[in-house]
Structure 1
Amino acid sequence: MDQRTENAPKAAVRQGYMSKNRLAVSLLFLMNGFVTGSWAPKIPEFKDRLGIGEGVLGLLILVFGVGSLVLMPIAGGYIARIGSEKVAKATAIVLSPLLLVLTLVPNVWTAAIGMFLLGGFVGAMDVAMNANAVEVEKSMRRAIMSSCHAYWSLGGLIGAGIGGFLMARVGVLPHAILVTGFSAAILAAAWPIILADKPHPAAAKEKLRLPMTPLPWLVGLMALFSMVPEGAVLDWGALYLRNELGASVELSGFGFAAFSATMASMRFAGDHVRDRFGATKTLRICTVTALVGLVGAGLAPNAFLAILGFAVAGIGISNMVPIAFSAAGNMPGLQAGIGLAVATTMGYSGMLFAPSLIGFIAEHSGFAVIFASLPVLFVVVLLLSHHAVHADHGRGHS
């Protein structure tokens, strides 16, 4: 009894310190989501300023994806050697002003360089902050990943929600300056309390070997088909609302904003929902909800109903990716890092590369057909949903 009483203050202090680490990594997710969300309402202006069509814009978005997939594994290598804290800080510093850079580029070629850097450092920071979240989870002995992704969605909501408003009221360049300043302020708040992880020396010497069993690749396919629609809403939602449904500049940004708002709300509740219903049932409910929402957005007769459809889709997609990532990290007979590497690489490649293909198709079919057809991917997720049972293996540690 005396021993417990003596240790209680120490435990409280330790828990408080861990809470600061959790706040710090949450702020990193918030900042990354804010920059990404702030890009969404800029896309129509970016396209018009450079005088390019959907096809060329699709190529630039492809360059964004190439940058991300080039820098993501490089970031992973540095994380293994120097830890996620240093990589997260470095990538966040570079990411902060990149939206301002894209606002100032004078032509397509410099825009391509800017897009490569934006995609590269969004992706590299994403790897680092997810790795840091894993370390915080270990130190706290509870799951926080779903809420971290909720902060990313919240950042996307803020960025997309105020982006069109600010551009219409104060101008494109002042908006980019404000985004840069706010991003720097978030990073400054997180900087001193980011968990300083120290990787094992042996980790830097280990060779990454791809798994030969089909399970991680099937879970990766679930992640891929869950993230392709998310990328489509991010990159093409505003253009769809503006060009095909007649939305204003301000209103066009609210497609991704509504999507991010519902996604953030449901991700904050994600861990509790999964504990209540189990990963497999939760995934199936979410997938059907996402399917209904995206079909509704594609068939909507006006911008307001399309935004409502995107909001419903956000509810569904919210916990599809966290469940897939959790399943990938808890596969029997496979190191967590290996399964997670497969799932994240496949998932993010779909989110980054598929929208460029969508741009080419949309030039001939329009975006309404695209958004009404994408839910076919969710049918595949439903067929593979029984593999989500592996996400429940870690519930006892939450």
Structure 2
Amino acid sequence: MKRTAGCYGVTGVLNAAWGATLPATDARLDLGPGRLGVLLMALALGALVAMPIAGRLADRYGGRRVLVWSLRAAAPAPVLVAAAPSYGVLVGAAVVFGVLSGALNVALSLQAVGVERATGRAVMGTMHGTWTLGAVLGGALATVGLRGGLEVRVVLVLLAGALSVAAVVMTRGLPSPQVGDARGHRGQASPESAERGTKLVIALGVVGAAAFLTEGAATDWAGVHATRVLGADPAIGSLVYTAFFVAMTVVRFVGDPVRARLGPTATIRYAGAVATAGYGLVLLSVVAPAAQVGTAMAGWILAGAGMAVVWPVVVSTLGSSGASGRRLSSVTTISYGGGLVGPALIGAVAGQAGLPVALLIPAALAVVVASAAPVVLGRFVEGGTRGSRGGSRGQGSEQVGCDETGRPPAWVRGRSM
């Protein structure tokens, strides 16, 4: 478990190496919102191509091997961004970065679900909390470097070197927990139940996509919003990004007991409401009579706190149902696709109508998460509970911590069940 959490932490630092330095890279090459949108779209396309391929590779070679390969290859990728002398070369670097990140994110999801099944307890929030802790660390390092007068390319090279060493260390001795295979559950579900399950998986992926788009808007645009719209310097832009991930880190580390107490549906309902309030403050910061940056930072903090638990709840709910690796990778692809395409879409809208108008998109999706996601989660948990009751104790043991009745554990059902 510690090695897997370490891989999450390294990936968080890697994400920060991209996001926290993006305002400075924007200033270095004078990109602007339109070009930033194209850059993020290139990142998204690379990741979306890689994700289904990574799922197939994991089915063939095992999720552990894909995680080792992808993390060690992605760690030095910030050097590509640092070495880009022009906008065109930077777009190519973004594609490569996206391919490596896409494969890495699928492998991490499969590994985390396997760990949760092997240990029989809720750890998904802790895993993602470690990821955000890494993002906070990476954002803080980038901020310190930029505030200390280092050029952004030097900061990126230093981060790439540290990441490369950490990736090798964390992937040594990495365990190989198995993700359930749908073939092991033959005869447990009728064709109608299988079709219903597929629809729910797709719906779960859409929920994850909405959450990731809302989160990705902060990852890629919070710092740019502070610098381009509110007039802050690049170091303050990096600080806004870091504050967002500090909030996510704190909430994710307490997310597992909260979910165990409230259940997934209530947890996501409250999370969406908090994120909606946060985006409201971000939108109002433009017209705030004073402390515009402070108002926006408070909004991003609330948005981070609200979105912190959504993806851990989604992937843990899917994992507890005994879904196969292919289904897990499908939900991951749909969800991360929303998070990758969304910020690029925001960039396209920002280039035409301005960034404050474009941020209405994630604000609206936060409302969707608060209102629609609880319905999807409720149906998925209900369906998983009914489906698991038909299996024997031996079959139930393939799922995460199923009790003697074959039901999902209390941390999946919550007290409301």
TM-score bin (small chain): 0.7 to 0.9
Give the Å deviation of 1:201.
Answer: 11
The 1:335/1:284 distance shift into structure 2, 3 A limit, reads: same
The reply to whether residue 364 of structure 1 matches residue 352 of structure 2 is: yes
Distance 2:166 2:339 in 1: 25
1:244 matched residue in structure 2: 229
2:359 match: secondary structure: helix
Counterpart of 2:281 in structure 1 is 296
Asked if the contact 1:329–1:339 (Cα under 8 Å) also holds between the matched residues in 2, the reply is no
The answer as to 2:362 corresponding to 1:374 is yes
* One-letter amino acid of the structure 1 residue matched with residue 134 of structure 2: G
Deviation at 1:336, TM superposition (A): 4.5
What's the secondary structure of 1:269's corresponding residue? Answer: helix
| TM-score, normalisation: structure 1 | 0.86
Matches within 5 A, 1:288-327: 288-300=273-285, 301=288, 302-327=292-317
Give TM-score scaled by structure 2 length: 0.82
Q: Quick one: distance in 1 between partners of 2:245 and 2:87? A: 29
Equivalence for 1:93: 72
User: 2:403 corresponds to which residue?
Assistant: none
Q: Which residue of 2 aligns with 1:187?
A: 167
Q: In structure 2, what is the Cα distance between the partners aligned to 1:183 and 1:176? A: 10
What is the Cα-based RMSD across aligned positions, in Å?
2.4
> Which residue of structure 2 lines up, in the alignment, with residue 12 of structure 1?
none
Q: Distance in 2 between matches of 1:286 and 1:29?
A: 22
1:273–1:282 contact (8 Å) kept in structure 2: yes
Q: Which moved more, 1:24-33 or 1:155-164?
A: 155-164
Q: Distance in 1 between matches of 2:360 and 2:41?
A: 22
**For residues 167-189 of structure 1, what are the alpha-carbon distances to aligned partners after superposition, in whole Å with 9 as ceiling and x for unaligned?**
23222232112211221232233
How is 1:188-227 mapped onto 2 (pairs within 5 angstroms)?
Answer: 188-197=168-177, 212-213=195-196, 214-227=199-212
1:156-212: CA deviations, max 9, x gaps?
111122213202322223211221122123223312231135789998xxxxxxx74
- Residue 97 of structure 1, CA deviation: 1.3
Cα gap change, 1:391 to 1:267, in 2 (>3 Å): farther
Q: C-alpha offsets along residues 296-351 of structure 1, whole Å, 9 cap, x if unaligned? A: 112113112211110111111111122222333455xx835454334322211111
Following TM superposition, by how much is the alpha carbon of 1:241 offset from its aligned partner in structure 2, in angstroms? 0.2
In structure 2, how many angstroms separate the alpha carbons of the residues matched to 1:341 and 1:305? Answer: 38
Structure 1 residues 198, 338: CA separation in 2 closer, same or farther (over 3 Å shift)?
closer
Q: 1:353 aligns with which of 341, 360, 364?
A: 341
- Alignment match of 2:48 (pick from 44, 69, 83): 69
1:387 aligns with 2:376: yes
Output the CA distance in 2 between the equivalents of 1:298 and 1:199. 42
**2:6 maps to what in 1?**
27
Kept after mapping to 2: 8 A contact 1:224/1:348: yes
Does the CA-based 8 Å contact 1:58-1:355 persist in structure 2?
Answer: yes
Q: Structure 1 counterpart of 2:43, which letter?
A: F
* Equivalent-residue separation in structure 2 for 1:372 and 1:397 (angstroms): 34
CA–CA separation in structure 2 for the residues paired with 1:141 and 1:90: 27
What is the SS of the residue equivalent to 2:409? Answer: helix
Distance in 1, Cα, partners of 2:225 & 2:411: 43
How many pairs align?
369
What amino acid is aligned across from residue 122 of structure 2 in structure 1?
Answer: A
What residue number does 2:243 align with?
A: 258
Q: Does structure 2 conserve the Cα–Cα contact (< 8 Å) formed by 1:82 and 1:199?
A: no
Q: Are the aligned partners of 1:81 and 1:201 in contact in 2 as well (CA < 8 Å)?
A: no
| Unaligned stretches of 5+ residues in structure 2 | 184-193, 386-407, 413-417
- Between the aligned residues of both structures, percent identity stands at 26
Task: Tell me whether 1:231 sits opposite 2:220 in the alignment.
Answer: no
Give the CA deviation at 1:94: 1.2
Q: Deviations over 1:246-293 (max 9, x none)?
A: 212211112221111111111111110011111111111111011001
1:42 to partner: Cα distance:
1.8
* Stretch of structure 1 that moved more, 381-390 or 218-227: 381-390
Between the aligned partners of 2:230 and 2:181, the Cα distance in structure 1 is: 56
1:43 to 16, 22, 33: 22
**Whole-Å Cα distance in 1 between the matches of residues 140 and 235 of structure 2?**
9
CA distance in 2 between partners of 1:202 and 1:382 (Å): 31
**SS in structure 2 of the partner of residue 195 of structure 1:** coil
List 4+ stretches of structure 1 deviating above 4 A: 197-203
Q: CA separation in 1, counterparts of 2:181 and 2:214?
A: 39
Offset of residue 391 of structure 1: 4.8
State the distance in 2 between where 1:137 and 1:321 align.
15
Match in the other structure for 1:274: 259
Give the whole-Å Cα distance in 2 for the aligned partners of 1:229 and 1:197: 31
Q: How does 1:85-164 map to 2 (within 5 A)?
A: 85-164=64-143
Matched AA of 2:353: S
Unaligned segments of structure 1, at least 5 residues: 1-21, 204-210
Structure 2 residue 43 is the aligned partner of structure 1 residue 58: no
Aligned counterparts of 2:181 and 2:60: Cα–Cα separation in 1: 7
Deviation at 1:77, TM superposition (A): 1.4
Change (3 A) 1:223 1:297: same
